[in-house]
Amino acid sequence: MSTAEAASHLRENPFGLAKSQLRRVGEIFELDPNLIRVLSQCKKAVEVSIPVAKDDGSIEVYLGYRVTHNIARGPSKGGIRYHPDVTLDEVKSLAMWMTWKCALMNLPFGGAKGGVICDPKTLSASELERMTRRYTSEIINDIGPERDIPAPDVGTDGRVMAWIFDTYSMNKGHSVLGVVTGKPLSIGGSLGREEATARGALYCIQALSVKNGERLADYSVAIQGFGNVGANLARLLHLEGAKVVAVSDSRGAVYNPNGIDVPAAVAHKQERGTLLELANAEQLTNDELLELPCDILAPCGLEQVITEDNASRVQAKIICEGANGPVTPTADAVLEDKGVLILPDILANAGGVVVSYFEWVQGLQEYFWREEEVNAKLHDIVARAFQEAWQTKERRDTSLRMASYGLAVQRVAEATTTRGLYP
């Protein structure tokens, strides 16, 4: 037996950054320090051992987590990440950000997150299934449609959610549609869920373009990360007339200042498993992509890709955070001084949790909506949140990030105060 151990890609402790952000929000919005102390800690963190029989007969023992940050506004909600660099503090920070994201969107959820330290790309389908089912069994008493509802994140997808749904339901003796979101359509998934995170980012960019009196066709965009969020955002922006000049995956980036052929890039990635050697495009590194001249830079991969080391070289006018925490607070300050507008993660990539909420509601009702309804409702919620955050930004004379976080934290603080402390 061997144990998978994490070697984190993170340059700074993410939970420390999340708590630092919260303290700053508390100061700017003059919130009770006692409340900030309560909100700076996670309600529950579960660590589990996941022994898995490999196809060759050996046994690998993986380490998994499930963290609930806050349930003042409702059951907790958050994705499950399969990645070699997962750490407990990373999962805690993501759970806290989920709390603020749900509150900003005014959803009746708190924040949670899960993770397993593994590289899913090295596992066979049967190994991945066995690991997922064992992980689900280990956290089964901590999840549920009225308790904590998982969803996909980095390294997981609808297939993984189907295994979680089935494992939970088999143990309960009946199908429990609301236990997990991001499921395939055939077992209670929602239309529009797969591209929801990217569509929410698109709606934020559209709202900003209206504020600026510009059109999407006026924008050049560089997108780092070509998973679910990055690929769908590239496709949607391309359909709206924006010029996508660069895209990247974990192996590297491709660049064409006159515009990437996005449908060809999607097909190339599906066929070859990489974006490299895409026709009519120059090869770059992921780091070089971040520093390209463009109107919008959309980091859609992992956290902390823009730091104080490279922030001064970022040439984009707008950063749309498709990923969670891609810009560190020190980089934030540098970018703010340069006049770069940041569409923060809890606003820009909240489309996924909004449609996850829709899927949860549809599962509880066992009544499902048309895709046009899903997208229209998503637009209403994201557009309203953008307007509320923008008005707070102008009223408080602060950044859009601080305005978004301030609105969210105030809502959670109010719920906490209203409910009171037990006992």
Q: Catalytic residues, which ones?
A: 113
Give the helix, strand, coil percentages of the chain, each rounded to 5. Answer: 50, 20, 35
Distance CA 46, CA 202 (A): 35
Residue 398: DSSP 8-state: -
In DSSP notation, 246-303 reads: EEEETTEEEE-TT---HHHHHHHHHHHSS-TT-TT-EEE-HHHHHTS--SEEEE-SSS
Distance CA 401, CA 345 (A): 8
Cβ burial of 55 (10 Å; 0-12, 13-18, 19+) is exposed
Cβ burial of 51 (10 Å; 0-12, 13-18, 19+) is middle
How many Cβ atoms sit within 10 Å of the Cβ of residue 147?
14
